[in-house]
Amino acid sequence: MSVEAWTTVLVLISFILYLYIGWRSRVKDSKGFFVAEQGVPSLANGAATAADWMSAASFISMAGLISFLGYDGSIYLMGWTGGYVLLALLLAPYLRKFGKYTVPDFVGDRYYSNIARVVAVVAAIFVSMTYVAGQMRGVGIVFSRFLQVDISTGVVIGMVIVGFFSVLGGMKGITWTQVAQYCVLIVAYLIPAIAISLLLTNNPIPQLSFVFSDIVPKLNQIQLDLGFQEYTKPFVNKSMLDVLFIAIALMVGTAGLPHVIVRFYTVPDVRSARYSAGWALLMIALLYTTAPALATFARYNLISTLHNRTIEEIHQLDWAKKWENTKLLTFEDKNQDGVIQLTPNKATSEIGIDPDIIVLSTPEVAKLAPWVIALVAVGGLAAALSTASGLLLVISSAIAHDIYYRMIDPGASESRRVMVGRVMVGFAIAIAGYFGINPPGFVAQVVAFAFGLAAASFFPIIILGVFDKRTNREGAIAGMLTGLIFTCYYILGVKFYGMQPWFFGVSAEGIGTLGMIINFIVTYTVSRFTAPPPLEVQEMVEVLRTPGDEPLALAEMDEDHLD
Amino acid sequence: MNEDKRRAYWRANTALIRNLLIIWAVVSLGCSILLVQPLNNLRLGGVPLGFWMAQQGSIFVFVGLIFVYAVQMDKLDRKYDGNRRK
């Protein structure tokens, strides 16, 4: 069977599985729709969080980026996993104990303010929209290559699938679909990695063969021979300060991403929240420690298969021709010497490789069986779809729960609240689809924006909300706004309006760290110069800090207290 | 739970968080970024140590930190809130 036939079959099987789970977990009430009835076991929640979290960028782009950046690619590995430590220690247990439905819920209640709630809603929608755009591009890439359909058609198919299980099952449907998607994506990632590891080093465990074989020294030597820097040499593409800032922005952003935080509302108690953070990171680590090994293997393989070959030889490689059709891989004999050379200089290099194709093409480059290649496509789809569905639910609940129910119609019936939620999912899908067809940029870079914005808006005020009783409404609103505005201004300025990165050369990806620091300082200072929070809010913070799962003293905030 | 006990629980909790976060920062920001160049003079297998810390080592440490936290918090919960937990 051909790769295309295998892909079609496996994609169909996986989609039927997702649809079946979505239908099985259909819900009627808002607790099921927004927080999966708070009945998800911690291990399952860990898998769902891992799938939710590992997006098209992690699955498709990350190993490619690392492969091109060498050491400097570590920012993604460390940044995207280090944040879980912050999340597990500083946020997840307290938010679970708070026990409502969304992140803006916490912000609105803790800061006794509908203005704070709206700022949080806007930030949540903004972050999720930025992020969802990257996912849809991922779906498009996979479909266009493996099913040989138009990108727009592929995006529409993806939207229908996501729409079905999120509209019907809400958070419950998404959770159990994500557990299945985690299994699909991790198997799809590990099988080719193990096969390639075995081929290149005779050791089946990529994590070990990366360290205990001569592949890294060999790659370092090849890189030097071609005029590149050593693969393992740090700070080649980015300065140390920039690496530090980007890593922190990604870590803090991870901890502040609303679709990840909301997963900790779905477990039964505080203890499960703590363990499920551990399970989540363990499952993520399975992929994230494989990625640097895969990046090394892929780079080594690509150079040794393509460099110094004639264009005829390259065209005999089936995979090279197919990727050439997508324009993500290009060959041009610029110096007319009959062979294709890879050089560090873009102007003279005769091979153009889009980092996004590294993971998807690696099994083909290594001549693995067609079903393995198809499996990778299915895994990429699982990664993109699971993250997209988590994000869509955040957008929908931000509008349906935080705006509609909490602010416009607090007397809304259960069925009405769920209906508004479903309509909002549909609405969010339409917008996400638009971004999928007209992508605003490069997958992993777009995602990096979402992290910067999450870091600069949510993280400080949630931390201070728990660990500093004195932080009040005025501080939180001022902090979120300054953090968000500063970070947006810097990112947009640098990326779109030709502004020089004036803060010690820190790039747009890393500026969220400064935004976060500004948010912390502003929130803290403004809080000290304005009235302390009301006593019942201080009491609520006390309860968050005590052990056990008893309901909050301030179970339902009196609506009169809200501004 | 009385006020003193509640305070003691919170102090123990924040002390645990602080210690784990120090390890977190030393491993990720310290060993993997700020000190990566000196550490790269050492080797683990065929890979420079600082590079390995940045790409794999720190991730293993992160997983460990979260489970240590969860287990330690179980102990704290039992100590301060024993009557409602086994």
> What tokens were used for A135?
């996912």
Instruction: Retrieve residue A553's tokens.
Output: 């003293």
Query: Looking at this predicted complex, what is its ipTM?
Result: 0.93
Residue of B nearest to A280 (CA): B63
Residue contact A240–B33, C-beta within 8 A: yes
Nearest CB among B36, B56, B63 relative to A278 is that of: B63
| Residue A78 to chain B, least CA–CA distance (Å) | 7
Tell me, yes or no, if B77 comes closer than 8 A to chain A by beta carbon.
yes
Centre a 10 Å sphere on the Cβ of residue B17 and count the other Cβ atoms it contains.
18
- Cβ contact B9–A214 (<8 Å): no
User: A314-338: per-residue pLDDT in tens?
Assistant: 888 878 887 787 777 888 888 888 8
Contact A232 B45 (CB under 8 A): no
- C-alpha A59/C-alpha A359 separation (Å) is 8
Please, which residues have CB within 8 angstroms of residue A187's CB and are 6 or more apart in sequence?
A375, A379
Residue B84 vs residues A39, A94, A466, A550, B1: alpha-carbon distances, Å: 20, 19, 24, 10, 12
B47 touches chain A (CB under 8 A): yes
- For residue A193, give both structure tokens: 């990695």
Check CB contact under 8 Å for B69 and A207.
no
Q: Do B47 and A216 make contact, defined as CB atoms within 8 angstroms?
A: yes
Predicted TM-score (pTM) of the model is: 0.89
Q: Look at residues A514, A523, A547 and name the one whose alpha carbon lies nearest to residue A468.
A: A523
d(CA B52, CA A296): 12
Contacts of B33 in chain A (CB under 8 A): 240, 243-244, 247
CA A184 to chain centre: 17
Phi and psi of A309, rounded to 5°? -110, 160
CB A234 to CB B36 under 8 A? yes
Indicate yes or no: CB of B67 within 8 angstroms of CB of A212: no
Cα separation of the two ends of chain B: 17
User: A169 phi and psi, to 5 degrees?
Assistant: -100, -10
Residues of B in contact with A548 (CB under 8 A): 77, 81, 84-85
Find out whether A101 and A263 touch, Cβ atoms under 8 Å: no
How confident is the model at residue A551, as a pLDDT? 52
Give the CA distances from residue A27 to residues A19, A24, A171, in Å, rounded to whole numbers and listed in that order: 14, 9, 9
| DSSP code, position A262 | G
Please list the ranges in chain A whose pLDDT falls under 70: 145-146, 439-448, 549-563
Write down the number of H helices and E strands in chain A. Answer: 25, 4
End-to-end CA separation in angstroms for chain A: 65
Residue A55 to residue A366: CA distance in whole angstroms:
24
Largest CA distance in chain B: 57
The count of residues in chain B is 86
CB-CB under 8 Å, A84 with B62 = yes
8 Å CB contact of B6 and A546? yes
Looking at the complex, does the CB of residue B19 fall below 8 Å from at least one CB of chain A?
no
Number of H helices, E strands in chain B: 4, 2
Q: Is A546 left (phi over 0), alpha (psi -120 to 50) or beta?
A: beta
Q: Which residues of A touch B50 (CB under 8 A)?
A: 234
Q: Which of A103, A65, A468, A463 is nearest to A252 (CA)?
A: A463
- CB contact, 8 Å: B21 with chain A? yes
Determine the residue of chain A that is closest to B64 in CA distance. Answer: A278
H or E segment at A339?
Answer: strand A339-340
Beta-carbon separation of A81 and B59 below 8 A = yes
Taking Cα atoms as reference points, which of A283, A291, A288 lies closest to residue A196? A291
Task: Please answer yes or no on whether A78 and B81 come within 8 Å at the CB atom.
Answer: no
Residue B9 at interface with chain A, using a CB cutoff of 8 Å: yes
Whether B60 and A251 lie within 8 Å, measured CB to CB = no
- Give the list of residues 6+ apart from residue A103 with CB closer than 8 angstroms, or none: A95, A120, A124, A258, A261, A262, A458, A462
**Contact yes or no for B66 and A211 at CB 8 A:** no
Single out the residue of A471, A481, A488 nearest to residue A531, CA to CA.
A471
Contacts of B6 in chain A (CB under 8 A): 542, 545-546
Q: Within chain B, which residues score under 70 in pLDDT? A: 1, 82-86
Residues in chain A: 563
Nearest CA in chain A to B14: A467
Interface contact B54-A78, CB threshold 8 A = yes
Q: Does B30 touch chain A (CB under 8 A)?
A: no
pLDDT above 90 as % of chain A: 26
Contact A176, A52 (CB under 8 A): no
Q: Mutating which of B56, B65, B74 best tests the A interface, going by the most A Cβ atoms within 10 A? A: B56
**Chain B residue numbers touching A234 (CB-CB < 8 A):** 36-37, 40, 50-51, 54
Q: Where are the alpha helices (DSSP H) in A147-263?
A: 151-201, 206-211, 215-225, 240-256, 258-261
Block residue for tokens 């440490």: B61
Residues in chain B with CB shorter than 8 Å from the CB of A292 are: 55-56
pLDDT value, residue B82: 65
